[in-house]
């Protein structure tokens, strides 16, 4: 059984090499050299360069996901959990230079649609985190009734759009500022709760009051 710290060190070294040179130019010899290992020993962890790349990226994605999940679990209120989930996910990627550079080189890691998702299991787990928060919010009454079958996927698509826009697009700084506003829009909406509701063929009705018959 391989030690966890050894696996982390190997996958992190591989990620750094792929981030610096790209998949095509990075070599197994280079990664082995960074680790002070022989190429033969490195093949104990992956059968080839493609396997090493996939393992390294998957490991980095799970670290990212784990950091966000720990931050979410530190909160008790589903509203705080939702905000922390969104903001920590974006914040982490801003700190992990290697993973951010990998995403810039290989945006297919986060496909907008799931028909061809190379890391589908990991991304489905991310959707499950969103689903869990929404269900908790509905159960405790702090969220309104929501379409749990569809909304987590919609929110994850919005998130992926911002990841791609913030860290791959040349207008990344602007997109990051827009992300905070988007979270506010999702959590607070655009309608005032105490605003009058329009009724067909009549005057607006204050929330909680019925129109005269």
Report yes or no on 99 lying in a domain: yes
Give the tokens for residue 144: 């309104």
Convert the chain into a string of H (helix), E (strand) and C (coil): CCCHHHHHHHHHHHHHHHHHHHHHHCCHHHHHHHHCCCHHHHCCCCCCHHHHHHHHHHHHHHHHHHHHHHHHHCCCCHHHHHHHHHHHHHHHHHHCHHHHHHHHHCHHHCCCCHHHCCCHHHHHHHHHHHHHHHHHHHHHCCCCCCCCCCHHHHHHHHHHHHHHHHHCCCCHHHHHHHHHHHHHHHHHCCCCCCCCECCCCCCCECCCCCCCC
Q: How confident is the model at residue 211 (pLDDT cuts 50, 70, 90)?
A: very low
For residue range 62-109, list pLDDT tens digits in order: 999 999 999 999 999 999 999 999 989 888 888 899 998 998 888 888
For residue range 18-58, list pLDDT tens digits in order: 999 999 999 999 999 999 999 988 988 889 999 999 999 99
pTM: 0.82
Report yes or no on 67 lying in a domain: yes
d(CA 199, CA 179): 34
Is 186 exposed, middle or buried (CB count within 10 Å of its CB: 0-12, 13-18, 19+)?
A: middle
CATH number of the domain to which 42 belongs: 1.10.357.10
Residue tagged 């297919």 (tokens): 108
d(CA 63, CA 57): 10
Report yes or no on 1 lying in a domain: no
Report yes or no on 202 lying in a domain: no
Give the tokens for residue 186: 């999702």
- 5 pLDDT more than 70: no
d(CA 139, CA 210): 28
Report yes or no on 73 lying in a domain: yes
Q: Which domain holds residue 165?
A: 7-190
Q: How confident is the model at residue 213 (pLDDT cuts 50, 70, 90)?
A: very low
From the CB of residue 206, how many other CB atoms can be counted at a distance below 10 Å? 11
Find the largest Cα–Cα distance for the chain: 85
Report yes or no on 166 lying in a domain: yes
Q: How many domains does the chain have?
A: 1
d(CA 29, CA 14): 11
Query: For residue 202, what pLDDT is reported?
Result: 55
Report yes or no on 144 lying in a domain: yes
Report yes or no on 161 lying in a domain: yes
Dihedral angle of Cα 49, 51, 59, 81, to the nearest 10 degrees: 120
């Amino acid at each position: 059984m391989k030690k966890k710290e050894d696996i982390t060190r190997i996958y992190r070294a591989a990620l750094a090499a792929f981030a610096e040179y790209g998949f095509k130019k990075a070599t197994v010899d280079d990664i082995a050299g960074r680790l002070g290992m022989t190429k033969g020993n490195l093949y104990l962890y992956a059968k080839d360069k493609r396997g090493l790349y996939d393992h390294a990226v998957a490991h980095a994605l799970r670290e990212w996901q784990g950091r966000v999940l720990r931050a979410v679990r530190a909160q008790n209120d589903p509203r705080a959990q939702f905000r922390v989930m969104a903001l920590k996910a974006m914040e982490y990627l801003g700190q992990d230079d290697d993973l951010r550079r990998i995403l810039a080189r290989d945006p297919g890691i986060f496909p907008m649609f799931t028909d061809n998702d190379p890391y589908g299991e990991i991304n489905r787990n991310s959707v499950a985190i969103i689903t869990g928060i929404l269900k908790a919010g509905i159960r405790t009454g702090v969220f309104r009734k929501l379409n749990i079958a569809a909304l987590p996927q919609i929110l994850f698509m919005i998130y992926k759009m911002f990841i791609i826009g913030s860290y791959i697009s040349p207008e990344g700084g602007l997109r990051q500022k827009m992300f905070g506003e988007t979270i506010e829009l999702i959590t607070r909406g655009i309608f005032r709760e105490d605003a009058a509701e329009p009724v067909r063929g009549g005057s607006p009705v204050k929330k909680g009051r019925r129109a005269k018959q």
